[in-house]
Amino acid sequence: MAYNPAAYEAKRRGYMNDYAATGATNAYTQFLSKQRGQRDLADMYKQYDKAAPQVVAGYGRRGLNSANVKSGAFAQGVQDFATERVSNTSQAQQALSAQDAQDTLVNTQLGDRYKQNLTDLEADKTFQIEQDAKELLRLKAGY
């Protein structure tokens, strides 16, 4: 088979179009994922901010927190609430960071696959040109 520059260019454009389309889809998916994660984290902060006065008021209704009374149960309850808030929001932030790392890996792999496809295409092109040159030399020599 003789080297065909049009076929080579068509394959190259196909790889480029695939890379661009997949990259755009990934970028949009990652944008939505990040937006969703940040929104979930913001909602979590709002829920804890809304719940904090209710937790304190609950201890006040039971007489465990007032101007003159500060019970150990109240102190422990508030500490547990704060610990839970920090733990849960930290886990949500870590999940968001892990998703970012995964998205970065996907983008890196996409770029690597594109580069490898182009490298393979160039190798095929070089091999075909080499084979065509050998065939021409063979024909010229009369074999």
* Predicted local distance difference test score (pLDDT) of residue 32: 96
Residue 102 has a CB neighbour count (10 Å cut-off) of 12
The arithmetic mean of pLDDT across residues 63-83, rounded, is: 88
Q: Is the pTM of this model over 0.85?
A: no
The reported pLDDT for the residue numbered 68 is 80
Retrieve residue 13's tokens: 């454009």
CA 65 – CA 58 distance, rounded (Å): 9
The percentage of the chain sitting over the pLDDT mark of 70, rounded to a whole number, equals 99
Looking at residue 119, what is its pLDDT? Answer: 97
Q: Is residue 36 pLDDT above 90, yes or no?
A: yes
Confidence of residue 70 (pLDDT cuts 50, 70, 90): confident
Amino acid at 72: G
Amino acid at 116: Q
Examine the pLDDT at 122 and tell me if it is beyond 80: yes
The answer to whether 47 and 85 are in contact (CB under 8 A) is no
